[in-house]
Amino acid sequence: MRAILQRVSEAQVRVDGACVGSCGKGLLVLLGVGQEDTEQDAQRLWDKICRLRIFADEHGKTNLSLADVGGEVLVVSQFTLFADCRKGNRPSFAHAASAEQGNRLYEHFCACAQADVSHVGKGVFGAHMQVSLVNDGPFTVSLDTEHLSRRN
């Protein structure tokens, strides 16, 4: 699984002009699911995200986690995180999960988040979405379960 995390003061996702998900201060998570990903990967990725100390403390140091600041989350599926651009000029998405697997693991990841966070907004899997955000910092982090240790 791959995730792009953006620390935000607010974010929202729209489908056909209607807001379908949003969050206040917290994280926008753009989530990509690969063919080899499992429920354990989703849990491990969420565990890492919710414990990341990327929010400022009273001294301006990034020492606080999402839980420490009572942050919210907006999760948007984004299979394009598995784009392979090594050959030619058109990205290949051959390593992205099938729609069925991707949706199942996206929903599982969201359920993991809902167990720890009071507000989890969601996009609509497979829909054409417009995402807007106010990036706080800006502060953006990229995570890939291939590169995470088994101990978070």
Half-sphere exposure of 134 (CA within 13 A, CB side): 7
Residue 37's pLDDT is what? 95
Tokens 């299979």 label which residue?
A: 79
| Beta strand 2-15 pairing with 26-32 | antiparallel
Report which of 95, 92, 115, 94 is spatially closest to residue 42, judged by C-alpha positions.
115
First to last CA, the chain: 15
pLDDT at residue number 106? 98
Q: Give the Cα separation of 13 and 31 in Å (integer).
A: 14
Q: What is the pLDDT of residue 150?
A: 63
Q: Are 52 and 65 in contact (CB under 8 A)?
A: yes
For 27, the token pair is 């994280």
Half-sphere exposure of 39 (CA within 13 A, CB side): 5
Distance of CA 101 to the CA centre of its chain: 17
Residue with tokens 């990034």: 62
By the 8 A CB rule, do 9 and 24 touch? yes
Residues labelled catalytic: 78-80
* Average pLDDT of adjacent 10-residue blocks, the chain of 152 residues: 98 97 98 96 97 95 96 96 90 91 97 97 96 96 88 56
